[in-house]
Chain A
Amino acid sequence: AQTVTQSQPEMSVQEAETVTLSCTYDTSESDYYLFWYKQPPSRQMILVIRQEAYKQQNATENRFSVNFQKAAKSFSLKISDSQLGDAAMYFCAPLQGGSEKLVFGKGMKLTVNP
């Protein structure tokens, strides 16, 4: 079964600073998708960013960008200019190859300090 590792259970960042969340995964597939979701205290899962493995260019969505290292099976999320509203649990989730299933990491709690 595919495994996902988010090695840091918690991180904190000062408002307006930059923070990077790490994620590594295991897959035997060559073509797949990777996602970051955030879950604020409301518990609504919100899509942050998505990366297609066949694309060499790292995905970017406004203040959120990824560093996708396919050979290393690493998919880190960088949040620039952190805002108080970024405080949430962040989940890394590869789309399991050959199926429709997301495989979630254990999550990482991000605190943003004013």
Chain B
Amino acid sequence: GAVVSQHPSRVICKSGTSVKIECRSLDFQATTMFWYRQFPKQSLMLMATSNEGSKATYEQGVEKDKFLINHASLTLSTLTVTSAHPEDSSFYICSARGSPGRGGEVTQYFGPGTRLLVL
């Protein structure tokens, strides 16, 4: 159980275009999803937290107008990189978590990641 998928696994796009990445929880309802960015040989950096049906909460320094997050259902969150530029090239990873609270789920399960290359 607790499987999270991401699509696409790899994408190459031209500078100035927008790219959408999907994150799906396949066998559980994800009340909260997280989006991370990982540079080569570095740790994960949290970009934003999204709760189903509400606006995402962005970490300091992350441009919300550039990285649009939509969490429209309990199984799907999307990250759209708008007007992508070469510096946006990175590995993007999502994670999902079920209902929180004592006795509830706190563990985050991760998707396989999306490698974005902006030319």
- Chain A contact residues, CB within 8 Å of chain B: 33, 35, 37, 42-47, 50, 91, 95, 100-102, 104-107
In the complex, B74 has a CB within 8 A of chain A: no
B residues at A contact (CB < 8 Å): 32, 34, 38, 42-44, 46, 49, 91, 93, 95, 97, 100, 106-110, 112-113
How many A-B contacts are there with CB distance less than 8 Å? 45
Q: Does the CB pair B44–A91 fall under 8 Å?
A: yes
Identify B32's interface contact among A37, A44, A47, A100, CB under 8 A.
A100
Interface contact B91-A43, CB-CB below 8 Å: yes
Contact of B46 among A42, A95, A101 (CB under 8 A): A101
Contact, CB under 8 Å: B112 / A47: no
Q: How far is the CA of A102 from the CA of B96 in the complex (A)?
A: 12
Determine how close the nearest CB of chain A comes to the CB of B74; give it in whole angstroms.
16
Closest Cβ–Cβ distance, residue A67 to chain B (whole Å): 20
The CA of A62 and the CA of B112, in the complex, are separated in Å by 24
Question: With A95-B106, A100-B49 known to touch, is A106 a contact of B113 (CB < 8 Å)?
Answer: no
| Cβ of A109 to closest chain B Cβ, rounded Å | 9
